[in-house]
Structures are given as C-alpha cells and as structure tokens.
Structure 1
C-alpha cells in the first residue's frame, strides 16, 4: 500500500468516511479487528471473489452472489479469510434486508469483520475516495483520522468506561458531547466551551427535535450517532455545534465515540442510568458541581424535578449494589421522583424530590420496608428537608451523622432521623474516639477491676443507683437488696472511685461513663 499519509488506512478509518457513513454501517463481527489495514477496495458480485484478491482488500457486495445454502456461505467466507481480506461489507438493500444468520456465524467463526449497510451506497464512489486516500491524497486528514482512531483504540483496549469515552470525544473535538438514553435523558455530559447549564437546560425537548440519527439535524444542528449492537439500540451520542461548522474529523470522532461506547456497554455491566445517578449523587453530596445552576440542569436532564419541589437525603446501610435496582424500581412504581445510587459498597443513597404538599414519611417508610426486606439489619437514616438542590449536601451530611449514631437492633424502628439522636446515640457515634474510651476507663476502671478480682457486682449497684436518680430505696428494690447492703456497697464505690455520690454533677459524669461503657460493649 502507498503510505504517503505516514500511517495505514484501517477498516475503522474507511467506515468513518462520509461516503460509507451515509450507509449507516453496523459492525456485526470482528469488532476488535477494525484496526486491520486496508490495501484496496474491491467491488464484487462473484461467487468466488477470493480468486481475484491479494490480501488486505475491503470487499463490497450487494449480497447477490451469496450462496443459498449455509455450507456455500461458509465456503465463501473461508476463502475471503484465507486470502486475508480486510473486511466484508454487505449492503442490505437489494437482496437482503437483514444479514443472513449463516453469514454472521461464518464471519464470527473466522473473526472476519462483517459490516452491514442499511442504506444504498455508491460503491464506485467508495473506491474512488478510498483509493485517492491510499494513493496519497488528503494526507494530513488521514494522519488526523489515524490519531483519532488510535486514541479510541487505546480507550477500548484498556476497557474505558462511558464517562472516559465521552470525555475523550469532547477533548478531541473541542465540542460539547452528550450521551443520552432512549427516553432522551442526558446521562453523561462533557461540556466544552460552555457550561453544563447551557448544554443541558431543556435537554429532553431539544433532543426530541433532532432526528434519530444521520447527518447534522434539528433546530440547533446537532451531530448525532446511535449507540447500538446487532440491532439493539441503547441510546445515542450527540455533539453540539459551535460557531464553526462540523468537519469530517468531527464525524469520525463521533462515529468512533459511538463504537467505543458500544464496546464499553458490552464490557461494563452497570446500566448507564445507574452510573449516571451514582455520579450525580456523589457530586451533590460532596458539592463537586461547578455551580448550583449546573447541578439543577444536570439533575433535570436525568428526569428529576428541580423546580417547586423540596429535597430529602436518605441513606440505606445495606449491600448497596444488590439493593440499588430494587429500591429504584420501588420508587418508580410508586411514582416518587428520586435519584438512587450506590455511594459506598455498604451504603445506598437516595435523593427524594417532593412536592410542597407531599409528606416525606410515607416515601421513607416505603424505602425502609424495601431495605429491611433485603436485609433485616439494614439501617435507614434521614437528613432534613431542604428547598434548594444546592443545599442537598447538608441533608446528606445530616443523614450520615444519623447513620453513625444509629444503634444496632433499633427495636423495630423503620428509620432514624435527627430528632432520634440522644445521649446514647451521640456516644455511639463517638465510640471509636480514644478520648471517649479513655474517659470511661478513667471514671469506672478501678470499679471494674475490683469486680473482676473479687467477683463482686458493684457496677450493677451503681447503675441502679444512677438510674434511680440517687434514690437508695428504689436502688435496693431494683437490685433485690436490703437498704443496709446498698449503703455498704455505695460507700465502697465512693471509696474506690474517690467520688461523692451525693453530688449531682459527679453522678452525671458517672452516668455518662456508664453510657459509654454500654455502647462500647453492649449488654
């Protein structure tokens, strides 16, 4: 092959050319071999085209010569593979309207790239364009296309996720690139030269005005490409215009983006919507958005109401990924608007969007039932309701503090909120602080040591005394002891601890120390 461009023309490069892109090419097999160099383009309607090939050819056919029987189809493909044809391109317009199963199976078995064209393409024009490139014309464009191809090949080979793919596309093109799902929710937005607010405001209505795929379209002149595999469409990727018009390189970037996203979808099992919700929740909880306006536009583009509603953060301490889909489906079935996403492996985050007249308690009770059905030891914690999306970080922080303070085995409580945090809950949240541990040991250590060495139970007597607010008669009754025994034991406690049990302040200090002891070693 003539190499005046400094790099070989690959199957991927040829598919990105507008002359072939107009036919809406779809790669059915050999997806990982699109970097194969193309030496020439060969149009054929023969049943034995391999006899005229030398290797490296991109074979174009309308499918007219394909044998009827599967054995004949296998032989046809085997011969192409034996001569090392670069790829087989079949037009689904004349003889076929869907690729024959036998052809797909045969190409997959030989790892031969099979590309279908859904629209009529002028094969002669394809050969002229490709051969001109091969012979050295448009050398600069070829080098840039090659760099684009190499960048996306590298992304694919290292298993890049959709976020990284979209970010790379925006970086290469210098334009805003957005991935959306089938219901026109913007899942990933990489804004270039604009804010997220400018890119996503009114997204659904704007997107629905743009034709499903093809060339530049819609009122704003978006460039879009479908993300699909073997006839199943998952969404599309859109490149938004700037003052400068789109170039052939932009088309190449977008087509390579769509292909890389297809591969990412096949590799990464997390649904795009779940990943988008997780990202939005992390950014809200940690205040990582660039501005409140950007946060509102992003959440609105995900389908969350942002105007005239209140927001409430809820944390579910469960096996998050296992519960994520169930909880999201439960809320969707109930018609409750929310973002649901895994924050950590053991914590699921939920942001509820509630109408002014809508109480949050029924929604949280529903969440709690779902969580407890999945894990009887699940802990559900609630922050305070806020009236602006930019304040949701505070609601998440409050819910996290409630979760830290929630005691195990909450005696049937469906969920916990800020008003539930009392002394024991506060101390429980501080249980790993060595200062708290040291306090309990300083206050009660000598008494505990005495009970251990002598087999006594003075600690229980002290507990009954403190719980009785210093009433010795009640202490005796609770401990099933005589008053004289209680007096003797309390004097021993005072001597061991060097404390005055008649002092209300000192009794309070000991009471707190007992509460610390309880949360450190639950009875």
Structure 2
C-alpha cells in the first residue's frame, strides 16, 4: 500500500503530532511538497503532504483560515507545520480552521528536518512500487502457467479474477462472450454489448472504463485484443475499486498473453479457412465424393445432414453508402458465422472471395440464424439463402442461393430465401427495365397497327390468351364474332412473324402484356 499520514505518524523517528483531522489519517500521500508561499496551490496536483514553517503566514485568523481552505480545495491530504523557526507553536486559528475543514494538521518539531519526512515518503512509495512490480511478476508467472493448461483461456480468466478479487470475461471479435469467471459473470458481461461495439470501432489496442452494467456497483475496464486494425477479441474485468498499480500489472499481463494466443493462432485459423473454402468450392462444383474424402471427420456430420447455402454481397441500394463499408460488413459477417459455429459447436464451410461471402452450414442451426440476423442489421448487405439439401445437391443449392440473391437485389431486400421466391409470384419481377424494354419491342408492331388501322389486335390478343385460346369465350369478352377474332389472330401472326401455336411464343406475349399492366 502507498504511504499514509497514519504510517508517517507511526514512524517514531519523525516525532510528528496530530493537531487536527485525526479521522482522516488513512489518506494516501502521493508526494511531499515544501512551500512558504501564502498560496502554493498553483504548484500542487492534489494528494500531497504540504510542509511549511509559516514564515509568511502571520497570525491573522482570517488569513490563516483562507490559507487552510485553499489547501483543502486543492486536494492536499495533510499540512505539516514546522515549529521553532517562524512560530514557537502552531497558531491556534490554523488549528481551528483545519479542524473545521477536516484537513489533517501535523506538528513537526524543530529537530525533525523536512527532508526526513520527504525521504520517508519517497522510500515508502518506492517500496510500494517494488512490491507491486514483484506481485505483478509473480502474477504473470501464474497467468502464464494457467495459459499453458489444457483449458488455457478458462484457467487464465479464473486466475485473473482471483488476483483482482472481481470477475473477468473474454469476448470474440463480434462481441459475443466466449468465457467468463466466475460463472455468474457471463450474464453481467453479456450486458456490455454497447460498450464493446463502441470499442470495436477503434484500432487495437484500445481501452475504456465504464460503470458496471445493470446498476452493479463494480467498475469495469475493457481492453481490445490484437495488433491489427480490427480487434480480434476483448477482455473485460470488473472490480469493486479502481485498479491499483499491482492490479494493472496483472491485467496487462493477461492482455499480452491473450493477444499472443490470438496472434499465434491466426496462421492456423487462416489455413483452416483456406481449407474450408477449397472444400466448399469442391462441393459447389459437384465433387461430393472427393470432398468427403478430403474432409474426413474434420467437419463431423456436416456432410451427412441437410445443409443450406447462403451467399452475401454488397447491397445495390442507393442509400447503402450512408450506413458503412460493405467490405467491412462482409468480413464481420464471416466472423459472426465462425463465432456462432464455435458457440454452438456447429461445423461450417465459408469462402470470402473478394466482394462475396458464401457460407454452407447445417439447416436449422445457429450459424445461419446468426448470419441472417447480421445481414438484416448491417443495412449494406444483400443475401440469398437456399432451401435445405443433402450434400450431393449442393450445386443446386448454390444456384438457388444465387437466384434468391438476385431477387433480394431486385426488391431492395436484405435477405431472401429460396422457398420464399418459389412461393411468391413472378409478376413483380416483370418490373425490371430490361423486361419492359423487351415487351415494348415485341408489342410495338401490333400497337403501330392498332394506331393506324382497325382491328384492336393488342386487346384481342390479350383476351384470347387470357381465355387460353378458347375462341367463343374470348370473342364473347370482346363482343365480336369468333371468325373476326380468328382473322385478328392470323394478322397478329403475320405482323410478328411468329406462330401462336408455339407455347413459348404465347408465354412471351402474355408476359409482355402483363409487364405493361
């Protein structure tokens, strides 16, 4: 512990006596300062024991009272008054003012030099710092041993929480709680999502100190982990009091060990990602047998269960630039997928290839749910999700995801599932400019005919197609004889140079008519 006024009083060689403020002697002394100025406060930082002989103070009660109040307002923890030089005894108004303000006042006898008090405080501060460093080194050794245990992260957090007499929690890059100690701390740590999100926006290393979540009395400090631009994780510690020097050594040691662990695993993680991406490409190419052989047991039963394919890329909405960088959002989506897989012990395959992310995961699992949630919240991404399919049908699932993604872009949606596309209507897709241009070109000869001649070919064609080629019903709708309608349909064929007996021609004409409303 740092020196206090009480510890100085217990130093018999100093022969100090308490004259006022005896109930505040446990205040820590940060330093000793000697001054004979009547206002030394411009040269103080707070936390000092101020020593004076009172040469310029005089005996005026009001002046002495103002002097004491200035010192107390400046954060001085105590006043040592040396007698035998300017004053034979400590002035009574000074004692009264100190008692009134609650400022500890110490009488320093003539034989005790001020330098002796300074040396005592300096030695005590040095001893406290040495003790903190020694304790910190021992804590580092303990944390290092814990980090080398089979459950290195959990053991390290447990030792860290014990050293701090508080709690500790580790988060992944997405801000999800990976581990916490003690066990109850996980719930408290999970409520710091907003603080983690703000810290994520700052390059690592960065830190923040906040009040305990949910009205808790503890004080929380959060440190980002990693050496790159984007944090690879976060460490939060909660304690009842502000961290002292020794505790900070312990926290810094934990940050260093966790960062080292994350950075050392980066190469392995990158290699595993490349392996998974290559395996995913094999599955999408239809090489299921080779993929099973290469995967072995590494991905558990992933290839034995129904899976889905999700494809995400930057949204093509005009306002997407207002909400962030799509490349960053895609990278974070990949991290969210990995984090969700780690939490639920779900294997997955992912490939981040330039501006596109492809994810293959088990149907109904937490990975795809986390991906969908992130895409919806990101505001700068669009994604398509396939229907569930066995591993042998992954190529078809990939095509489904592609088509669903195209619909998401067309409809300015964040996420579209293939089942939703199949259950919907094709008519909204006819609003595309390319489809409208095709319809206009296909029907223009008929409209030009109707504008200059009699016959109402476009109206007659619509009626005939809507009645599935039934002459009597279509003629009745138009109010003409069926022979008149037959003549008009022959004119349609002549003008377009296409046969209405061809179902593809009838389909194109009907879609062209529908696209124009």
Q: Give the TM-score taking structure 2 as reference length.
A: 0.35
Q: Which has the higher helix share?
A: 2
